[in-house]
Structure 1
Amino acid sequence: MNQANDASDRAELSTLRSQLEELTARVTRVAERYGTTPDSAVAADLFTAERALTSARRSLDKVLATLRS
């Protein structure tokens, strides 16, 4: 890859990382609203989704770090 592609890819991945961060926060807020209700199973599934989104964000962090080096 050339420098222009690397910069473009880093910018796109950085945007995706930010979107994942926002999605994670939104999922967390909804999960917390269900945490103490009879629908706590909904909260459990949402917290599972939260963990998956967090894992995806961390993977992007690793990729971005690799592309910066």
Structure 2
Amino acid sequence: MLAQTLQWLEADGMVERKAFQVVPPHVEYTLTPLGEEAAEKVRFLADWIEISLPKIAANWETAPPEE
């Protein structure tokens, strides 16, 4: 699953893959400028969720039961 996700991110231009011709095989991934930009947005969202979690959790207590 991780390999597939990395392939998708590489195809989308988010990460760059560098394979080294060594034994055992070694591969490194780095974020591209586009990937850095996306990571910044994800960090912002994660920070907002962390700050807002008490407000979010307060709604869990008042939410109607699932059927």
TM-score range for the pair, normalised by the shorter chain length:
0.3 to 0.5
Please, what TM-score do these two structures have when normalized by structure 1?
Answer: 0.38
Indicate the structure whose relative CO is greater, using CA pairs within 8 Å and at least 6 residues apart. Answer: 1
Q: Which protein is bigger by CA-based radius of gyration? A: 2
Q: Which has the higher helix share?
A: 1
Please, what TM-score do these two structures have when normalized by structure 2?
Answer: 0.39
Q: Which has the higher strand share?
A: 2
